[in-house]
Structure 1
Amino acid sequence: MQMNFKCSLTLTALLLSSFSLLAQIEDKRGVVAKNAELVKVQDGFKFTEGPAVNRMGDIFFTDQPNDKIYKWSAGSNKIELFKDGAGRSNGLYFQLDGTLISAADLQNELWAIDQNTGKETVIVPSFRGKKLNGPNDVWVRPSGGLYFTDPLYPRPYWEGIRGKDMEQDGQHVYFLSADRSELFRVTEDLTQPNGIVGTPDGKTLYVADIGAKKTWKYDVLPDGYLTNKTLFCEMGSDGMTIDDKGNVYLTGKGVTVFDKNGTQIAHIPVPADWTANVVFGALDRRTMFITAMDAVYTLQMKTRGVW
């Protein structure tokens, strides 16, 4: 009897917690599925980051301080280790051919990782003969080529490698061509670029300047250069994603959603001090997968992610 009473109290607490969180969701346009609840899939990590979705809807994400990449299987809702010794990978993104691109900041490189074997290849070791600051987030455009942000977040494991001072002359965004023969800067006027994502047609790029607490919108030219820089919203972000309606999802204190005009339309609270990143997963791309501190969460959505 006593055990049942305790179980009832625990269940009641969980239900109240879920109800309380659900009640806190601000959703002006109905982006979240009706009666959806934020579900903690697993905790026990140190700091989760960089979720990326493959064709099957599975999510690969990093535990950056522990130097590991994990895989969440959409069909089973199970998490397994994909790669140990991951170059301190941070942001991840899949190319159309299934290659996993990683911002590996152990030695400030960009990696291409075979999804089947886990074998990595360094595709960007440096820029103009100097180490990058620390590649952070990546977006691969549909027509080929990729963009990545290069802010400076001094890491304790850099001691003995390069210290804590930038070798580059600032914190910039870079473009790497599809054949990997060209690497050049596409922004040189941002404070601390971090999150990055583009539209599925490849014509628009969003870059979050977390240092300036702003997110910018650019037109993407065929050669990879950017033009028509426009303020999107007065908020920076760690990670970013986009849905099929053109809504942009920013992270930090939970997940904040803006429509394509930069108007805030939703806020999803997450029970963590910091929400690092977000992506849509599962085959139908209606499961939002959130990395937040030591745990990862899912939330069922009405909107659908793009790939």
Structure 2
Amino acid sequence: MDRAFDIIDERFKRYALGNVFVERLHTGMRWAEGPVWFGDAGQLLWSDIPNNRIMRWVEGGGVSVFRSPSNFSNGNTRDRQGRLVTCEHGARRVTRTEHDGSVTVLADSYQGRRLNSPNDVVVKSDGSVWFTDPPYGILTDYEGHRSEMEQDGCHVYRIDAETGQVTVAADDFDKPNGIAFSPDEQTLYVADTGASHRKDGPHHIRAFTVSQSGTLSGGEVFATIEPGLADGFRLDTDGNVWTSAGDGVHCYSPNGDLIGKVLVPEVVSNLTFGGPKRNRLFITATTSLYSVYVGANGAGPF
């Protein structure tokens, strides 16, 4: 692709750097997902769901397998202690990898019934863990294990940092998917990708107001993705939402205006900010891992 950016609004010019290009860092995955940056180790981890593994990329050191099998891992993030938090389709659970390499199960059920297949996850500054639970990992044997749903729907959940109690944060989704907080954590963005299996299904991002006690209100549509789906997204320090789409990465201003795109030659699933200055966008897109430098800095401590 000859150009890296499509500037739709003047506000995007500051983020669309000149003389940069979209680099393909690695290929050979079946469906790449869930990138997470480890700045203290100078490495990026991401999931290759159908191949049942987590991959690792190191600048100047190439690519290796971090974990295999990975229980068909999907979304990954880090908590405030720098530990890896992972959504596992295969085991239908959310786990935390401790500093010594051991794995702690954070959630695998709600009210005595197994979760569907946790998809994406984010950790708030108070230590609470928020995740989405659509059925993608149990619909077929390709990204998990074909199984029946035990829950009454597909919900957004919150795990309390002190008690470990799992509660439903939002229950009016078709297929909740990508999830992220605004820089001030007063807004929680959650995607609904119901259009993946229903022609008239939702393909948008919703915005919820977060109370101090951790309850959600609102939930209005923030942006509708066209073409494609908001499979995964992250925010920059200016409050812009950078999300996956069918033709690359779309950037939305804090008020929901589409201001620009990063053009990627494969369908994008997810992304994260990384690099020493968090100004490098790492993009998982179908079979490949891409990156591009932008004039924005990723929000959050990791």
TM-score for both structures, normalised by structure 2: 0.88
| SS of residue in 2 equivalent to 1:72 | strand
| SS of residue in 2 equivalent to 1:139 | strand
Alpha-carbon distance in structure 1 between the residues aligned to 2:16 and 2:167 = 38
Note the aligned Cα RMSD (angstroms). Answer: 1.9
The equivalent of 2:26 in structure 1 is 42
| SS of residue in 2 equivalent to 1:86 | coil
| SS of residue in 2 equivalent to 1:189 | strand
Give the structure with the higher percent strand: 2
Mean Cα displacement is larger for which, 282-291 or 82-91?
A: 82-91
Given candidates 71, 80, 88, the residue that maps to 2:56 is 71
Aligned positions of 1:250-265 closer than 5 A: 250-253=243-246, 254-265=248-259
Q: How many Å apart are 1:118 and its aligned residue? A: 3.6
CA contact (8 A) 1:142 1:200 kept: no
Alpha-carbon distance in structure 2 between the residues aligned to 1:27 and 1:287 = 21
CA displacement, residues 140-173 of structure 1 (integer Å, 9 cap, x when unaligned): 11121011000111131699x6x44321111110
CA displacement, residues 258-277 of structure 1 (integer Å, 9 cap, x when unaligned): 000000001122111x2100
For structure 2, the 5+ residue unaligned runs are 195-201
Question: Is 2:299 the counterpart of 1:306?
Answer: yes
Give the structure with the higher percent helix: 1
Question: Is 2:78 the counterpart of 1:94?
Answer: yes
Count of residue pairs brought into register by the alignment: 283
Question: Is 2:119 the counterpart of 1:136?
Answer: yes
CA contact (8 A) 2:50 2:142 kept: no
Query: Quick check: which has more Rg, 1 or 2?
Result: 1
The equivalent of 2:93 in structure 1 is 109
Q: How many Å apart are 1:117 and its aligned residue? A: 4.5
CA displacement, residues 24-72 of structure 1 (integer Å, 9 cap, x when unaligned): 6335322222221000001112211001123435321111111111222
Aligned positions of 1:139-154 closer than 5 A: 139-153=122-136, 154=139
Alpha-carbon distance in structure 1 between the residues aligned to 2:118 and 2:107 = 10
Q: Displaced runs of 4+ in structure 1, greater than 3 A?
A: none
Alpha-carbon distance in structure 2 between the residues aligned to 1:107 and 1:94 = 19
Residues 1:166 and 1:49: Cα distance change in structure 2 (over 3 Å) = same
CA contact (8 A) 1:82 1:118 kept: no
Report % sequence identity: 30
Question: Is 2:191 the counterpart of 1:208?
Answer: yes
CA displacement, residues 81-103 of structure 1 (integer Å, 9 cap, x when unaligned): 21112111100010010111100
Alpha-carbon distance in structure 2 between the residues aligned to 1:199 and 1:43 = 31
CA contact (8 A) 1:275 1:291 kept: yes
